[in-house]
Structure 1
């Protein structure tokens, strides 16, 4: 059994700061009061323990209150990505079979979702309350969150993340990073991502302040790091680049109390690591996925340049092995095991077991060196990582192929100086189509970051004898453009 995170934390350190946003602060006791109020209003709206709801909101305090309110009410939360198109959101709602959508008012206006059982943040706030007894202990197998991750077939899978998964992830992280009473985690990651949600989990388990930002404000963020008002932060390479440029422009360095720049979403360029070192920014590269509730392996800052390109070593409770290998340096598929690994999926993938003999096949190709450091050679081969966002080519191809004049489509990543990689499409047409028309077509079906940044019209796509698309050849084509 696992203690109810917020109830336990608010009883241990009620007056400690839990959340900061735009100059306003909430203690853990105040956070518990806000969440308790939401939980009782959720009960008044007919939601009972074990019900599954979907949540669509921004990264602001109201979203934090609703998240914790849902947890106190014993609900499973389907975390919806606010950057998705309306069609993508509706697909996930249908697949998840959520009983209710809880949506922030402005996002409802933007997405124009209709004909779905829902309640807005403002309507929830004005609801009456119904008393109930909040569970003080959770079963470790209780599903806390469900996050959709794109699949190689183009159909996202709803990944279950349990109380045990999240707790194990937080404990493994703190055993690696350490903890002080002065720690404050600066959060610019979306709360619907595992990277953002995991910061909220760490906060209530550690008793640590979260400095929440709805939007990435480089100057203000650098001020926090420089002035010592934040001690840790999670980034992807693109946001790290913006922070470095601001430090360099002002010719300043991080405050001595700043301890961790946790970098995920793909490898950090050596140039960034050298520049970060000169600005007293300890960058720790990490490797994880939605199925592992955030980190699985992390590279320490002192090894960042010595082990350039490495994802580090498995964290305390976690195990990693390379399929069918015996010696250091041998390449194979990365397999993961541990209490942080998902027990399964929901919806159309509910019957798919994520494990093989207790191990999660990641699809990533990697190796261990002779010192036990993990190196990822290919991120699930077809996966495009653009500014920390995962894009699967099959999903983009499916959208393109729904256009009546697109006969064939092949999508791959093309190197980009800012985003690391961006999707580009090779297309065989059956008629005349302008690039602008394809942009508009994809814009109705896909999140903006998934829309191809270039279209290359070709007579045929590279295929093997089985008519399977040869993506490696597409990547070679893209590198020549």
Structure 2
């Protein structure tokens, strides 16, 4: 069934007008009727501003603004325009770069946002309330978008280079929706803390439109607040990133909060170390721990792995009509057990880089993930590393994911990141940056790792930091770590 996002919202508002779609804890909540009516009002305000079908409109909001953001997103799409979600935590220069890159014609932003958002192509900026007040939704004739029309441009995290705008149609965003089966039917509330402007955040927005539970978030993540939110709403479903999971575990929130209502805990955006997954099973005693693997480019294709101690390093198998394969750089398939590039195929209309339809990332419906990995005999996917993160040390290639997995087993390690730094003889050597719960000497860590890693995998340098640098999506910023070590 091919739907548009405005159709999805309209149908839900008709079926469940007083149902709660979104809650920002202690701040705001939004019913489906309110969401629909306010989006139509905003859409007509956009038309009054001269927005036409296919125009790109930047949306600059923060975590406290999820309800207004949801109204703005659906309002832009109801006007036939294209939404460009952007976090208000981005640096002003990055905001301007992204808005200029997609040639945005205007900006809808959160109330109180004072940053200078002006770029030559963006002729106006306004809040949700101001746009909605400029005209009534009864005064304009909205031209409904088609499922194949462009709906969204979402910028990548830029972990391997300059962020790129990934375009998605309505049919891509609504794939699997509207079937009558409400996802996460075991829950009345779904709690998450994903940022606006990320693929994970957009997935939560579509869940708010189509899934059974009300989607609950909070203005700012802290372990205590997040655990309190789960407890107070008796949430049945929780989504987070590994960095948040690590914070929850080390804050020992399970000792102060009842988290037994959670039946599904999903982790996304980065590999979940098995030691962390194991600790989550203790903190959330009723929950199945699931690791989700996808990318902004590949969605809605994904693999899901229900935590299995027998397969601690796997990110699972493809689901819901998607496919995964291991291939060469030119796309030639490799046999089971062989390491190569990970490719995924979406069951929906594929995405593309905006303004760059010929990119080598997308080929014949397949998406090049930028990761190296292999499939076992049962079709389970194992990631070896990001292509750009593999450390080439002498004659060996070292997987930083494997090094991180083993380092996380040390009881004093809170979080760790492995990366390569230049070496005059070997080309590069492994360096590990870590945050610890107690002092941990580099030599003590090397002794712990000696029988767990091969000699060429052992870190030549160990650096203790207060916390690992992360981007807005929760991924470790290894470029920043390399700069800290004096490497470009």
**TM-score tier (shorter):** 0.7 to 0.9
- Mapped to 2, the partners of 1:291 and 1:212 lie a distance apart of 25
Is 1:44 the counterpart of 2:48 in the alignment?
yes
Q: Which residue of 1 aligns with 2:321?
A: 317
- Mapped to 2, the partners of 1:283 and 1:100 lie a distance apart of 41
- Mapped to 2, the partners of 1:277 and 1:152 lie a distance apart of 30
Q: Which residue of 1 aligns with 2:3?
A: 2
Q: Please show how residues 2-401 of structure 1 align to structure 2 within 5 Å.
A: 2=3, 4-23=7-26, 24-59=28-63, 60=65, 61-107=67-113, 109-111=114-116, 113=118, 116-121=122-127, 123-129=130-136, 131-134=139-142, 138-149=145-156, 154-168=161-175, 179-180=184-185, 182-248=187-253, 250=255, 252-256=257-261, 258-279=262-283, 280=285, 281-293=287-299, 296-301=302-307, 303=308, 305-323=309-327, 324-340=332-348, 342-347=350-355, 349-352=356-359, 354-382=361-389
Is 1:452 the counterpart of 2:480 in the alignment?
yes
Contact 1:297/1:312 (<8 A) preserved = yes
Q: Which residue of 2 aligns with 1:416?
A: 434
Instruction: Report the 3-state secondary structure (helix = DSSP H, G, I; strand = E; otherwise coil) of the residue aligned with 1:190.
Output: coil
Alignment length (residue pairs): 402
- Once the two structures are superposed, residues 264-314 of structure 1 have per-residue CA deviations (whole angstroms, 9 ceiling, x without a partner) of 12221222122211121432111010012355111124x2x2221211110
Instruction: Report the 3-state secondary structure (helix = DSSP H, G, I; strand = E; otherwise coil) of the residue aligned with 1:363.
Output: strand
Q: Report the CA distance shift for 1:314/1:206 in structure 2 as closer, same or farther (over 3 A).
A: same
- Mapped to 2, the partners of 1:277 and 1:153 lie a distance apart of 32
CA RMSD of aligned residues (A): 3.5
Instruction: Report the 3-state secondary structure (helix = DSSP H, G, I; strand = E; otherwise coil) of the residue aligned with 1:36.
Output: helix
Deviation at 1:341, TM superposition (A): 6.0
TM-score of the superposition, structure 2-length normalised? Answer: 0.73
Q: Report the CA distance shift for 1:100/1:252 in structure 2 as closer, same or farther (over 3 A).
A: closer
- Once the two structures are superposed, residues 207-227 of structure 1 have per-residue CA deviations (whole angstroms, 9 ceiling, x without a partner) of 431113221132232123234
Q: Higher mean Cα deviation, 449-458 or 208-217? A: 449-458
Instruction: Report the 3-state secondary structure (helix = DSSP H, G, I; strand = E; otherwise coil) of the residue aligned with 2:277.
Output: helix
Q: Report the CA distance shift for 1:252/1:448 in structure 2 as closer, same or farther (over 3 A).
A: closer
- Mapped to 2, the partners of 1:7 and 1:51 lie a distance apart of 22
Contact 1:76/1:145 (<8 A) preserved = yes
- Mapped to 2, the partners of 1:342 and 1:413 lie a distance apart of 37
- Once the two structures are superposed, residues 171-217 of structure 1 have per-residue CA deviations (whole angstroms, 9 ceiling, x without a partner) of 89x99x95327432213111211101111112212343111322113
- Mapped to 1, the partners of 2:123 and 2:95 lie a distance apart of 14
- Mapped to 2, the partners of 1:25 and 1:33 lie a distance apart of 14
Return the structure number with greater relative CO, CA threshold 8 A, min gap 6. 1
Instruction: Report the 3-state secondary structure (helix = DSSP H, G, I; strand = E; otherwise coil) of the residue aligned with 2:115.
Output: helix
Contact 2:41/2:135 (<8 A) preserved = no
Q: Report the CA distance shift for 1:187/1:334 in structure 2 as closer, same or farther (over 3 A).
A: same
- Mapped to 2, the partners of 1:10 and 1:220 lie a distance apart of 30
Instruction: Report the 3-state secondary structure (helix = DSSP H, G, I; strand = E; otherwise coil) of the residue aligned with 1:180.
Output: coil
Q: Report the CA distance shift for 1:29/1:412 in structure 2 as closer, same or farther (over 3 A).
A: farther
- Mapped to 2, the partners of 1:282 and 1:300 lie a distance apart of 7
Deviation at 1:26, TM superposition (A): 2.6
- Mapped to 1, the partners of 2:296 and 2:351 lie a distance apart of 12
TM-score of the superposition, structure 1-length normalised? Answer: 0.74
- Mapped to 2, the partners of 1:252 and 1:202 lie a distance apart of 26
Structure 1, unpaired ranges of 5+: 394-409, 419-446, 462-481
Contact 1:343/1:354 (<8 A) preserved = no
Q: Which residue of 1 aligns with 2:410?
A: none
Contact 2:237/2:264 (<8 A) preserved = yes
Q: Report the CA distance shift for 1:411/1:342 in structure 2 as closer, same or farther (over 3 A).
A: farther
